[in-house]
Each structure stands twice: as structure tokens, then as C-alpha cells.
Amino acid sequence: MRHKIINRFLILITFTFLNCGKDKSEEVPLSYKSGNQEVKIEIENGKNYIEYNKPTKTDFVLTNIDINSFSVYGLGIRIIDVEEGVMKTEINVPKEYSEKDTLNIKIQFGEERKKCEFNIPLTKAE
């Protein structure tokens, strides 16, 4: 009996350490690649999330994609500038936006209108 309790305790501790060691921001894919074409999202704060009610500069870096064929859709996205291969934006999401704390960003590009979606976590400002 005591042996079972110790085993269960060790298993519980192991899972706790494994789950606590994971940084959820690392699990968020912020790039899409199709052949030699690639879109990367670079968030100003260096994290993989956006804070509610805080304007955050975000770049969409394009590789082998014509900027004129690129579209981005999502709540609170404002285009600031377009340079060769980079669409500079500012994202500001109001706190009342979502129950899921996730910002859905959709992109399209190319003659074939390739599509991709990014789900970026939202968090309260620190």
C-alpha cells in the first residue's frame, strides 16, 4: 500500500515539473512556410503574445512574397508602413474582445491566394 502511494506521488511530482517547465509562449507558431515563400510575425516585445489595451508594434516579414499580394486581417490591426518585404503594423486589442484570450490573425498572399491563420495569445498588461 505504501509503495503505491509513493509511486503515485512520484508520478504526480514528475508531471507537475514537466508541465511547469513549459513556456506556453514558445508553443505559439509565428511563421508559415510554403515552398520558398515564408511569412514571419515579429512582435515588438520579443514575446509570443500581445497584451490587452497596449499598442504593440508587430512586423510581418515576407520572404519571396510580393507585398502587393499580401493581406492581413484581424481585430485591432493597423498598418503603419510597408517596406520591401516587411509590413509594419500596430496591434491594439481591447480587453472586452475575447473570452478565449486569443487573437486570430488571417493572412492571404500570392496569385493562388494562399491562406494561413495565426492564433496569438492575449494577456493582461503587466
CB 55 within 8 A of CB 45: no
Q: Which residues pair with 39 in a beta bridge?
A: 32, 62
**DSSP class per residue in 50-79:** EETTS-EEEEEEEES--GGG-EEE-TTEEE
Average pLDDT over residues 67-87: 94
pLDDT tens-digit series, residues 16-64: 333 333 344 446 789 999 999 999 999 987 889 999 999 999 999 999 9
119: nearest Cα among 106, 101, 104: 104
| Domain limits, the chain | 28-123
What confidence score (pLDDT) does residue 17 get?
38
pLDDT category of residue 11 using cuts at 50, 70 and 90: very low
Average pLDDT over residues 80-109: 90
The β-bridge relationship of strands 77-83 and 114-123 is unpaired
Q: Which residues pair with 69 in a beta bridge?
A: none
State whether CATH 2.60.40.1930 applies to domain 28-123. yes
What confidence score (pLDDT) does residue 2 get?
53
What confidence score (pLDDT) does residue 10 get?
38
Place of cell 508559415: 32
What confidence score (pLDDT) does residue 126 get?
64
CB 2 within 8 A of CB 95: no
What confidence score (pLDDT) does residue 1 get?
56
What confidence score (pLDDT) does residue 18 get?
37
